[in-house]
Amino acid sequence: MNIFAKLFSQPVMKPLFGQRNRGIEIKSEPEIEIMRTSGKIVATVLKEIAEIAEPGMTTADLDAYAEQRIRQMGATPSFKGYHGFPASICASVNHQVVHGIPSRKQVLKLGDLLKVDTGAYYQGYHGDSCITIPMGKIPDSTQKLMEVAEQALYEGIKQVKPGNSLLDIAGGIEDYVRPHDYKIVENYTGHGVGRNLHEEPAVFHFRTDALPNVKLRPGMTLAIEPIINAGSKVTRVLPDQWTVVTVDNTLSAQFEHTVLVTQDGYEILTDRTLL
């Protein structure tokens, strides 16, 4: 039994990292304001990592940079020590899907596809986001996978508004990805986020009746984070009990934002374009 089977009550579809608490929390305006700051910290770190990451660096280098910057901005890394995770970022390269452990042995190479996921805990609230970064020039097929993964996230976010449901988010993502003949990873979900890094509800990225189809309400804060694979949707966990990889060694890409449900739509709390 791997660590995820031990941590989650739903063994088929699991949050991407850790255990959700029960109950959906509606955030107050003061809480939302704090989350805007935690989200901005995460967005800043990811934007800077995207600018400095290059072939020859190690994923441990990027982890050290992220931890330093998160702490400089008055927050603490959400991931470090969380259920024993040893780092401040997840750094997943190429066929690694999620939860890659940064390492001095993992030297980035030209053409690699790097996923960097991180979180910041600021004044009692978390922000959470992920980006995919190409290492220099990449093949057109890899570029397309990355672009589809990013747009899939935004197609899901477009469905965020009061009265819509989690199935609307899932449908927006699925309907965009399907014509491209890529696969959505089904056994890891997004999640609520706030006082806890992982809260209810599970935010799924494809249509399913296996999880509650929650109606969206103002004040909900959701981490939406579809994972798109070039080949099989099936994954496996490596012996380190953290790193998830594609079973067929094909590439995987992912983007994630922390999103607030507003009175008339949504606000992306980890928006890097506003920095």
Is 137 part of any domain? yes
pLDDT at position 15 is 61
pLDDT at position 23 is 87
**Number of CB atoms found within 10 A of residue 82's CB:** 17
DSSP state of 165: B
Confidence of residue 173 (pLDDT cuts 50, 70, 90): very high
Whether 198 has a binding-site annotation, put simply, is: yes
Mean pLDDT score, 29-43: 98
Is 60 part of any domain? yes
Residue 149 has pLDDT above 80, yes or no: yes
Is 9 part of any domain? no
Whether 126 has a binding-site annotation, put simply, is: no
Is 23 part of any domain? no
128-142 pLDDT per residue, tens: 999 999 999 999 999
Mean pLDDT score, 198-203: 96
Is 207 part of any domain? yes
Per DSSP bridges, beta strands 252-254 and 199-203 are unpaired
DSSP state of 163: T
Q: How far is 226 from 204, CA to CA, in rounded Å?
A: 8
Q: Is residue 185 within 8 Å of 160, Cβ to Cβ?
A: no
Mean pLDDT score, 220-245: 98
Whether 48 has a binding-site annotation, put simply, is: no
Nearest residue to 148 (alpha-carbon basis) of 230, 271, 224: 230
Unique residue bearing structure tokens 């809480």? 31
Q: Is residue 253 within 8 Å of 146, Cβ to Cβ?
A: yes
Whether 168 has a binding-site annotation, put simply, is: no
Q: How far is 164 from 52, CA to CA, in rounded Å?
A: 39
Whether 225 has a binding-site annotation, put simply, is: yes
Is 169 part of any domain? yes
DSSP state of 215: B
* DSSP H stretches of helix in the chain: 3-7, 29-52, 59-72, 140-157, 166-177
| Structural tokens at position 45 | 């770190």
| Structural tokens at position 34 | 């704090």
Is 17 part of any domain? no
Whether 51 has a binding-site annotation, put simply, is: no
Number of domains in the chain: 1
Range of the domain at 147: 29-268
Whether 180 has a binding-site annotation, put simply, is: no
| Structural tokens at position 218 | 């103002």
CATH of the domain at 71: 3.90.230.10
Q: How far is 23 from 135, CA to CA, in rounded Å?
A: 40
Share of the chain above pLDDT 70, in %: 92
Q: Is residue 257 within 8 Å of 271, Cβ to Cβ?
A: yes
Is 18 part of any domain? no
